Structure 1
Amino acid sequence: MFDIGFWELLVIGVMALVILGPERLPSAIRSTMKVVRGVKQTANGFKNEVEEQLRIHELHENLRKAEEKGFSELDPDLQSSVDELKEAAASVQQPYKKDN
């Protein structure tokens, strides 16, 4: 993403040492790393959410195709999607079944 090499980092480090001084530099580095970690976690969370929504959309499309075919003679891809949706529906209903 950023094309920052070793020499650029070295110049930034020396400038930070001169400007902040040796007392405040470690805390500045820690706070910067905390911000960078937070941004990465937010980006990863967003990416995971988008991937999950795309997977759900794909499952819905496969279910629609299976319904059009009447759930017979399905491709293995469609059949696995339908099976996955059936398992998800069964797991949702499981806690609500009454024990006899």
Structure 2
Amino acid sequence: MFDIGFLELLILGIVGLLVLGPERLPKAARTVGLWVGKIKRTVSGMQREISSQLEAEELRQKLKEQQSKLDESLDRAKRDVESIAKPYASSTPSRHGDENAEPASTADDAPPRPAAARLDDALASAQQSDDPAPGEPPASPDVDKKDAASR
């Protein structure tokens, strides 16, 4: 901060000794030392506070960027899954008579799942559907058992 050498300190000590005298010089030097120490601690504390605030702001910006990237990739995966699952959902008629009924659990209730798992679930539900495709006769194991019993 200040570039004070030994010669400058010696000159200040001699001037202080002549001005203040030998009785008051030690007390004045002690007081000046205390004030310099307080100023140094205050400046150091302010520097630490500013540094921590800058680091916190950088972390907030990085977190915000990562969150936006994550949201963007999640939206992209959601659109991909919806575009893949849409043909399966539109070709499979509803098994339940009430189409206005709400599902047992919504996406908000369940924890988020990876897009691949949701796609696998959509494909599995489309393959396991008991409803026949339009124009096909129903194939039920119960009907086959009744036919075999009546023969």
Q: TM-score range by the shorter chain?
A: 0.5 to 0.7
Which of 1 and 2 has greater Rg? 2
Which of the two has greater helix per residue? 1
Which whole-Å deviations, capped at 9, do the CAs of 1:42-96 have from their partners, x for residues lacking one?
Answer: 101100110110111011011111111107x9xxxxxxxxxxxxxxxxxxxxxxx
Question: What is the aligned length?
Answer: 73
Which one has more relative contact order, counting CA pairs under 8 Å at least 6 apart? 2
Runs of 4+ aligned structure 1 residues displaced above 4 Å come to none
Query: TM-score of the superposition, structure 1-length normalised?
Result: 0.67
User: Equivalent residue for 2:13?
Assistant: 13
Query: TM-score of the superposition, structure 2-length normalised?
Result: 0.45
- Whole-angstrom CA distance in 2 between matches of 1:24 and 1:44: 30
2:57 maps to amino acid:
H
User: Equivalent residue for 1:56?
Assistant: 56
Identity %, equivalent residues: 43
CA RMSD of aligned residues (A): 1.8
Which whole-Å deviations, capped at 9, do the CAs of 1:29-54 have from their partners, x for residues lacking one?
Answer: 11001100110111011001101101
User: Equivalent residue for 1:37?
Assistant: 37
User: Equivalent residue for 2:46?
Assistant: 46
User: Equivalent residue for 2:25?
Assistant: 25
Unpaired segments ≥5 residues, structure 2: 74-151
